[in-house]
């Protein structure tokens, strides 16, 4: 797995990490045992950068549980998502409990109440409990505000949606992130799974084999990661075999313009 510098955050992260929305919002021994297998596969494949949030129900708790005894083998990106400062502080206490006193990348989820939360996260960073600060938004309607936060000089990374069908960030956000040397984490690489419902013929993927791509999910991940402004992407999955398949897309060689356009054409046809 290629390891990349997450902009000026100082973190070194794998090109493919993992999200936990829905897939880790689970209860019960059977489901937790499955989540542990998924985490085992992610660690063994080097996809050891995990994104979570208090917004994802049980996900932070379950992720923390599956990491008992091996917290240092992974990096945790989680978020604060609260309408008041006091609720934000309460969330941070729980997150720090789940992740053994350290959050590698602490992000403001959907920019909710970001001014107050930024102060909180800066204080936690001063105490060594947070290594880097980020902000996320899933909607292009909020990209103007996201740009303001990026330009504040107080965050080191952004988490944004980017995939073959959702490319608004190409206009302003990716160029600004590159200019400011911000780390870029790409959420929703498969559009929440929608882009995997229909797939090209196997024969149509043959031209991508020299790039180590043999499946459609790998083509979609490599399309993202071949833009040098995108440092890591965090596909979510509940299946160990999908973790391994996805992680394999985190290795060079990377697509050039021609291959990226080819993948776009395949996606348009579906």
Burial pattern 142-176, b for ≥16 Cβ within 10 A else e, equals ebeebeebbeeeebbbbbbbbbbeeeebeeebbeb
Does the footprint of ligand NAP cover residue 92 (CB under 6 A)? no
Output 21 or 114, the one with its CB closest to ligand NAP: 21
For Cα atoms 64, 69, 70, give the angle at the middle one, nearest 5 degrees.
80
Are 166 and 138 within 8 A, CB to CB?
no
Does the footprint of ligand NAP cover residue 220 (CB under 6 A)? no
Does the footprint of ligand NAP cover residue 57 (CB under 6 A)? no
The minimum distance between CB 245 and ligand NAP, in angstroms, equals: 4
Q: Under DSSP, is residue 12 helix (H, G, I), strand (E, B) or coil?
A: strand
183-187/75-80 β-pairing:
unpaired
Output 79 or 229, the one with its CB closest to ligand NAP: 79
Does the footprint of ligand NAP cover residue 232 (CB under 6 A)? no
Binding ligand NAP (rule: CB under 6 A), the pick from 236, 249, 266, 267 is: 236
Number of residues that bind ligand NAP (CB under 6 A): 28
For Cα atoms 253, 217, 203, give the angle at the middle one, nearest 5 degrees.
80
Does the footprint of ligand NAP cover residue 45 (CB under 6 A)? no
The minimum distance between CB 8 and ligand NAP, in angstroms, equals: 20
Does the footprint of ligand NAP cover residue 7 (CB under 6 A)? no
Output 51 or 227, the one with its CB closest to ligand NAP: 51
How far, in Å, CA of 245 to CA of 248, rounded?
5
Q: Count CA within 13 A, CB hemisphere, residue 82.
A: 17
The minimum distance between CB 202 and ligand NAP, in angstroms, equals: 14
Output 20 or 66, the one with its CB closest to ligand NAP: 20
Span interacting with ligand NAP, options 127-135, 150-158, 198-206, 238-246, rule CB under 6 A: 238-246
Output 56 or 255, the one with its CB closest to ligand NAP: 56
How far, in Å, CA of 73 to CA of 134, rounded?
21
Contacts (CB under 6 A) with ligand NAP, residues 133-192? 136, 138, 159, 187-192
The minimum distance between CB 108 and ligand NAP, in angstroms, equals: 10
Binding ligand NAP (rule: CB under 6 A), the pick from 1, 7, 9, 21 is: 21
Neighbours of 49 (CB within 10 A): 28
Output 9 or 126, the one with its CB closest to ligand NAP: 9
Do you find a cis peptide bond into 253, omega within 30 degrees of 0? yes
Q: Under DSSP, is residue 228 helix (H, G, I), strand (E, B) or coil?
A: coil
Are 107 and 130 within 8 A, CB to CB?
no
Q: Which residues bind ligand NAP (CB under 6 A)?
A: 19-21, 23, 51, 109-110, 136, 138, 159, 187-193, 196, 217, 234-239, 242, 245-246
């Amino acid at each position: 797995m290629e390891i990349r510098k997450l902009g000026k955050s100082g973190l070194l992260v794998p090109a493919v990490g993992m999200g936990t929305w829905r897939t880790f919002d689970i209860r019960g021994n059977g489901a937790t045992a499955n989540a542990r297998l998924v985490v085992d596969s992610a660690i063994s494949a080097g996809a050891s950068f995990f994104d979570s949030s208090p917004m994802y129900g049980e996900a932070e708790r379950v992720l923390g549980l599956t990491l008992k005894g091996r917290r240092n083998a992974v990096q945790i990106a989680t978020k604060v998502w609260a309408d008041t400062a006091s609720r934000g502080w309460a969330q941070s206490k729980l997150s720090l409990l789940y992740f053994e006193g350290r959050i590698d990348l602490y992000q403001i989820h959907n920019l909710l109440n970001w001014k107050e939360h930024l102060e909180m996260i800066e204080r936690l960073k001063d105490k060594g409990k947070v290594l880097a600060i980020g902000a996320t938004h899933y909607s292009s309607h909020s990209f103007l505000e996201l740009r303001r936060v990026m330009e504040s000089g107080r965050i080191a990374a952004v988490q944004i949606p980017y995939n073959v069908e959702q490319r608004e960030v190409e206009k302003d956000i990716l160029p600004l992130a590159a200019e400011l040397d911000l780390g870029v984490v790409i959420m929703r690489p498969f559009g929440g799974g929608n882009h995997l419902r229909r797939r090209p013929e196997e024969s149509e993927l043959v031209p991508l084999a020299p790039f180590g791509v043999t499946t459609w999910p790998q083509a979609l991940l490599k399309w993202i990661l071949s833009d040098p402004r995108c440092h890591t992407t965090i596909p979510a999955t509940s299946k160990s075999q999908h973790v391994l398949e996805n992680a394999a897309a985190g290795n060079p060689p990377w697509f050039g313009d021609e291959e990226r356009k080819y993948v776009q054409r395949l996606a348009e046809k579906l």
